[in-house]
Structure 1
Amino acid sequence: MSPEAATSRFLASLKTPARILVAISGGSDSTGLLLLLFEALKAAPDLSISLCAATVDHALRDGSADEAYQVAALCTSKDISHRTMVWQGEKPKAGIMAAAREARYRLLAEAAEAFDANLIVTGHTLDDQGETLQMRGMRSEQISTGIADAMLFDRRFWVLRPLLFSYRADIRDFLRARGTPWIDDPSNDDVKYERVRTRRQLSLDAKAETNITGIWDERLALSSDGAGWLDRYFRLHGGLLGQVMPDGLSRDRTVLDYALGRLTAVFGGQPFGPGRAQMEQLLAFSAGGKPGRTSVGRVVFDLRRDGLYLARETRGIAPLILPPGSTRIWDGRFEVRNRSGATIGVEAAAAGAPSFLHSPEKTISFGSAEGVSYSVQSITPSTHSGWLPVPSTEDFAHLPKAAWKRAVASAPALYVEKGILSAKSARSVDLAPYFAPFDRFLTRFDFTFANRLSAVFSKAPYAEPPFKKY
């Protein structure tokens, strides 16, 4: 699709009014995206859509600040509000690309918030898609969805890619016709990066011609089927113990693979589901019908006559310290917000209170970031004298004792380093379930499943995609 046609189609698809933050590095793709949107909106001022822009300076090489200044000058010439967001602090020596990606989206979200923008667009192209499919194809035999055309970041901002079906060469032709230069990032020629090596090896062959929209349609259908499976066959007990009903284990293998893989990631606090070999092991175990237990992806699966129970393993759960006013993710499973004036510690309940299931001394009301009411049982005076949140709206007596005890042993227990945690301080700590595979980066392919999972956990729904029809 030509860049102009892609831009027109994108703008026509948006709910209005809209304010778009353009992520612009100064390269040809993002510069082209900014000018394409600028010209299209100038020709159609009645669309109730406005633009702003942000450049993320990763501060990883000399000259990056000057490049950001050039981008700011371009935006000023078009009367487009612009901000340069600098990645501050020490950079990691390992995993720099992943860390830079995380920082980039975090800073873009901060810029969008400052500009009161409701969506972000990036300049990914069909060339990027071909490279991604090639790289993922070399790692796995599974069919990849490649780069998503829409992704929700941090449950707050949709990141859209209007030019994902346009070639870079056409975007550059568009810029040349207007006499607009772009910046060539030297890292795009550095062969120490996998993408650069792939780009040099990749020719315009059938890999770039993959029917990606057909693959997307299949994934969207699978997400919908997985959501239906959750409704019919999955139960959540106390926010800690999952149960797949027996009939759910005999459903379509593809749907079971999809749903169980993502539930494993959620209960294990991992951003990705298990690998293929582990999933084959789990599916074989689930279909075997023989009671027993197995561990996959930091999750214990307990197969019984009344279904398959799953809970986080109690080993390998690191403690977390939260200074006053801070918000952090504990074990990839809970978002913890400390509104108290004390420094709060969070650890697995089993680490500080092996006997907490017996004779709780008292119960207090406990808040959560989603507004769900919890009761909180004291742990024991002989340990940390902390508080353990367990939802009070369900009777747990009917659950297998060992499975339930294992689940609660992996729950977050709150404490203070010195002294006794007061009921007042405990009420000032908000806990909310956190979905590691979805809550930071959620592609639209998993949106329906993730949204249904939010309902199961009594969480607020995810922000709807900003399209007129979805």
Structure 2
Amino acid sequence: MARLDARLDAGRGEPVALALSGGGDSLALLHLAADWAKARGRRLLALTVDHNLNPQSANWSGFAGEAARALGADWRGLSWDEAGPGPGLTARARTARHGLIAEAARAAGAKVVLLAHTNDDAAEADWMRARGSTLGRVREWSPSPVWPQGRGLMLLRPLLDERRQALRDYLTARGQGWIEDPANADARFGRSRARAALAGGLATDEVGVTLPTRSLRDPPPHEGAGERASLAWAGVLEIPRDASASTLAAALLCAGGGATPPRGEKLAALKARLAGGEDFVAGLAGARVEADGASVRLMREPGEMRRRPPALLTPEPGVAAVWDGRFEITAREPGWRVEAAAGRLARLSEADRRVLAGLPAAARRGLPVLIRDGGDAPVLAWRGASVRALGVRRLDLALGETTQENDLFHPMHGETAPTDLFS
């Protein structure tokens, strides 16, 4: 497939992951991807999530596994065991599914997950969004929506130009059956209502605005890519004052390390202050914004860290772990715990304090330090561990500036501290 060739690197040894439900769309993608993988010499890993929401779900997973193995793909079954009663079941299931798939893909070394969204799915999402849904637009190439499980992981939807019925016709021609989930026709779910409405020709909303039949594709290049890396190793991101609302929202999320993007009036007000040329300090979405002249720097808000401290982290040697949603830390030896530098800066060595001298004061307080079990003398985390700043790559992926799989394996300038600081 041309879309797979355009995004994926046939020469890599790592697998390409594929989300496989057993439904018609994902099975068609499995067949197409398996043909591509065989021709290109790539490994294909199919991942099936059992949500435990239907009595037949275990059988469906078994069916998906057999189909994957029959085509030469590796397969792994995953299980969500925390459904429980309550509102928002669809959204919770979607988040859990993305999280399980992301963790399994990363564990296998994959950087790209194939999803089988079609032109029909994009139209349904548009229909739902026009009626108040917070679903994002369906894009061909986009980062995993879960954090930090999906760090560095991209989703590729190569079937966005295809119609659902055409894929089923393709499977029928190959003698392949598929699963029809009864939930797809359950009017309690917004996706089912959208499907029924569009199938009935109701392609306009109540005020007569025609809904698009296809979603937007990848967004245009965004501003500021070359300016973000200078202090990015320390979690500091830089953006221009005239950054778009989407760029500002993404930068706030990446600097703050959170998973819930800022929305609405607060984001609009912050954008207006930046565009107006005002010098100020403000906080939003766990991030601190320091606007001074042409410089706009975003970093972790220390006050927010005090109100909601990062979870205690005692890293296992050789195992990468995420601290505060912003740094991936791999300890070299046991016996360390990770804390924030706030309140400990004066106890750092003179050499460590020199390293921090060029950083904004607030950024210094949000850095990770290592403290020995039973002790209280901190050292900058880079002294005893491999540390990657996640914000700069996360922002690069969110803004669509990395367009191919091969780029995901290369270190980015700004992910790690300059070698002259920690050699």
Per-residue displacement from partner, 1:151-202 (whole Å, max 9, x unpaired)?
4554565542222111111111222334422112233334444323333333
**Matched residue type, 2:299:** A
Q: Which residue of 2 aligns with 1:278?
A: 266
- Which residue of 6, 19, 25 corresponds with 1:23? 19
2:304 is matched with 316
Alpha carbons of structure 1 residues 300 and 256: separation in structure 2 relative to 1, 3 Å: same
- Tell me what 2:141 maps to: 150
Per-residue deviation, 1:281: 0.9
Partner of 2:207: none
Aligned counterparts of 2:80 and 2:136: Cα–Cα separation in 1: 33
Are 1:329 and 2:322 counterparts?
Answer: yes
Determine the structure 2 residue equivalent to 1:5.
none
Of the three residues 79, 86, 109, the one matched with 1:87 is 79
Q: How does 1:306-455 map to 2 (within 5 A)?
A: 307-317=295-305, 318-325=309-316, 327-342=320-335, 344-346=337-339, 348-350=340-342, 352-353=343-344, 356=345, 358=346, 360=347, 362-363=349-350, 376-377=352-353, 392=355, 395-396=357-358, 404-416=360-372, 418-420=374-376, 427-435=383-391, 438=394, 442=397, 445-447=400-402, 454-455=412-413
CA shift, 1:341, in A, is 2.0
Aligned amino acid, residue 19 of structure 2 = A
Q: Which residue of 2 aligns with 1:209?
A: 213
Letter in 2 for 1:124: H
Are the equivalent residues in 2 in contact too, given 1:27–1:185 (CA < 8 A)? yes
Please state if 1:103 is matched with 2:73. Answer: no
Q: Deviations over 1:404-441 (max 9, x none)?
A: 322322223433563345879984433321229928x9
Q: Deviations over 1:101-130 (max 9, x none)?
A: 2113322444x54xxx77542222111111
Alignment partners' CA distance in 2, 1:97 and 1:164: 19
d(CA) in 2 for partners of 1:81, 1:453: 29
- Match of 1:329, SS state, is strand
Question: When the two structures are superposed, what TM-score results if normalisation uses the length of structure 1?
Answer: 0.68
How far has the Cα of 1:320 moved from its partner?
2.5
Aligned-partner Cα distance in 1 for 2:154–2:284: 32
1:28: Cα distance to partner?
Answer: 0.8
- How far residue 459 of structure 1 moved from its aligned partner, in angstroms, is 7.4
Q: For residues 289-312 of structure 1, what are the alpha-carbon distances to aligned partners after superposition, in whole Å with 9 as ceiling and x for unaligned?
A: 444333222233334456444432
Distance 1:297 1:155, change over 3 A: closer
Equivalent-residue separation in structure 2 for 1:32 and 1:408 (angstroms): 51
Q: Deviations over 1:252-296 (max 9, x none)?
A: x4x454443332222222335432422321122223444433322
Q: Deviations over 1:220-239 (max 9, x none)?
A: 23x2x3425x37xx853872
Using structure 2 for the length normalisation, give the TM-score: 0.74
User: For 1:445 and 1:129, how far apart are their aligned partners in 2?
Assistant: 19
2:194 matched to 1:236? no
- Structure with bigger gyration radius: 1
Give the C-alpha shift of residue 332 in structure 1: 1.9
Closer/same/farther in 2, CA of residues 407 and 194 from structure 1, 3 Å limit: same
> What is the aligned-residue identity percentage?
24
Q: Give the CA deviation at 1:453.
A: 11
- Equivalent residue for 2:63, pick from 65, 70, 77: 70
1:220 aligns with 2:209: no
Q: 1:265 to 1:186 in 2, by over 3 A?
A: same
The CA RMSD over aligned residues, in Å, is 4.1
CA 226–259 in structure 1, closer or farther in 2 if over 3 Å, else same:
farther
One-letter amino acid of the counterpart of residue 334, structure 2: G
SS of the residue corresponding to residue 304 of structure 2 reads coil
Q: Structure 1 or 2: larger strand share?
A: 1
Q: Secondary structure at the match of 1:207?
A: coil
Report the residue type matching 1:268 in the other structure: G
Runs of 5+ consecutive residues of structure 2 not aligned to the other structure: 145-149, 204-209, 419-423
- Cα distance in 1 for partners of 2:75, 2:281 equals 53
Structure 1 Cα separation of the partners of residues 105 and 26 of structure 2: 14
- Please tell me whether the aligned partners of residues 243 and 308 of structure 1 are also in contact (alpha carbons under 8 angstroms): yes
Counterpart contact for 1:121–1:159, Cα < 8 Å? yes
CA shift, 1:84, in A, is 3.0
Matched residue count: 388
Specify whether residues 98 and 15 from structure 1 end up closer, same or farther in structure 2 by C-alpha distance, changes over 3 A only.
closer
CA distance in 2, matches of 1:303, 1:178: 60
Contact 1:342 1:425 in 2 (8 A): no
Whole-Å separation in 2 of the counterparts to 1:361 and 1:179: 67
Give the distance between the partners of 1:281 and 1:138, measured in 2 at CA.
25
